[in-house]
Amino acid sequence: MIKANYPIDKFNEIQTPFYYYDLDVLRKTLVEIKSETKKTDFHVHYAMKANVNPSVLAVIKDAGLGADCVSGGEVQAAIDAGISPSKIVFAGVGKADWEINLGLYNDIFCFNVESVPELEVINELASAKGKIAHVALRINPNVSAHTHHYITTGLSENKFGINMSDLDHLIDLFPTLPNVKLIGIHFHIGSQITDLTSFQGLCVRVNELQEYFLSHSVKLEHINVGGGLGINYEHPNHFPIPDFQAYFNIFRDHLQLQHNQTLHFELGRAVVAQCGSLISRVLYVKQGSSKKFAILDAGFTDLIRPALYQAYHHIENLSSDLAVEPYDVVGPICESADTFAKGFVMNQTKRGDLIALRSAGAYGEIMASQYNLRKLPKAYTSDELAH
């Protein structure tokens, strides 16, 4: 079995469970993104909610990416990490006044507005500061992302964005709101999208909307197509870097930009998922009536994706080369949902073995909780453990 090339000697000195970030994988991923986006005027804003580990953020900032934020906390974290406010976009259906004020105070690049009342509040708060807020309309394009229903966001039944049927009203509203300036339109149709035709569908819808705005004499400076590019959870060793070329080519080939328009992306998972693993130890191997349980010291408080989205994570026993057999890999938390995988085939396992739950760099550490009064997991990077 091919396994991650991890510093197991170092791991043995560290209290499990913990996150491990291979920053070389992250750097290679970013090089790939940059080489694909520099061909055309494409701008990537890293979706902060995927992972805000300071070491990870520093590498992303050094690569020159902007930030996509969905809370005031994330706006602040992006600024604290040294990301220029001129590269920060701020989305979210429920922005509180203090969060809007934080964005206004820092003159962020753009508020991605999700409703009429939010637009009115931004106008009011910007007026109080004597500023003009730059906004993009987050439009719900009613495009299916063919992904898990919990991470689908671009259907008219979802809570996100402005429905296309409200656009006439909004265009009439803008002249009455002097402290907001419409500079773009924004979309985000979902996450872990591996069927690239979903993005092609989005391009078709964007082209139609461009015609609509043109016919209403509205000039848009930028289009933001959000994030959502999926990664290969089944084979992280074979496909450590998503196919960014195919992804960006979809937009190059199918989205018609107007003169001087820039195209923006908000990638989260595709940037950070493959560089992270949750490292855990086997506490017990328990023989059930018909199967074996590998009981780990990591649980859904450390990595909730399997419990929340029925997500798959590839699991490797880093300590064993013995013949493989199936295990239900579970955590210690008092909930049946605390199961990482059922019938997972891995090398014969015993108490004390080190286990890697792969592709855990996105929506992993950041979603950790203290349920059952457990400790939050710590995190280490390949740079730290190299010396």
Ligand X SMILES: *Cc1c(COP(=O)(O)O)cnc(C)c1O
Tell me which residues touch ligand X (CB under 6 A): 47, 49-50, 68, 70, 91, 188, 191, 226-229, 266-270, 362
The least distance separating ligand X from the CB of residue 287, rounded to whole angstroms, comes to: 39
**Smaller CB separation from ligand X, 183 or 385:** 183
**Smaller CB separation from ligand X, 68 or 338:** 68
The least distance separating ligand X from the CB of residue 296, rounded to whole angstroms, comes to: 25
The least distance separating ligand X from the CB of residue 247, rounded to whole angstroms, comes to: 11
CA distance 88 to 107: 9
Any idea what DSSP says for residue 239?
-
Q: Give me the long-range contacts of 204-209 (CB less than 8 A, separation at least 24).
A: 204/254, 205/141, 205/142, 205/143, 206/141, 206/255, 207/254, 207/255, 207/256, 209/139, 209/141, 209/164, 209/185
The least distance separating ligand X from the CB of residue 327, rounded to whole angstroms, comes to: 29
The CA R_g of the chain, rounded to the nearest whole Å, is 22
Nearest to 290 by CA among 327, 251, 341: 327
**Smaller CB separation from ligand X, 50 or 102:** 50
**Smaller CB separation from ligand X, 227 or 299:** 227
CA distance 98 to 273: 31
CA distance 72 to 98: 8
**Smaller CB separation from ligand X, 135 or 346:** 135
**Smaller CB separation from ligand X, 180 or 229:** 229
Q: How far is CA 32 from the centre of its chain?
A: 17
Q: For 113-145, b where at least 16 C-beta lie within 10 A, e where not — what string? A: bbbeebbebbbebbeeeeeebbbbbbbbbbbeb
CA distance 123 to 129: 10
Beta bridge partners of 339: 330
The least distance separating ligand X from the CB of residue 364, rounded to whole angstroms, comes to: 12
Q: How far is CA 65 from CA 145, 279, 340, in A?
A: 25, 28, 32
The least distance separating ligand X from the CB of residue 91, rounded to whole angstroms, comes to: 4
> What are the tokens at 293?
């349980």
The least distance separating ligand X from the CB of residue 344, rounded to whole angstroms, comes to: 25
Q: Using omega within 30 degrees of 0 as the cis cutoff, is the peptide bond preceding 17 cis?
A: yes
| Cβ pair 51, 78 in contact under 8 A | no
**Smaller CB separation from ligand X, 20 or 187:** 187
**Smaller CB separation from ligand X, 185 or 282:** 185
The least distance separating ligand X from the CB of residue 163, rounded to whole angstroms, comes to: 17
Name the 3-class secondary structure at 59: helix
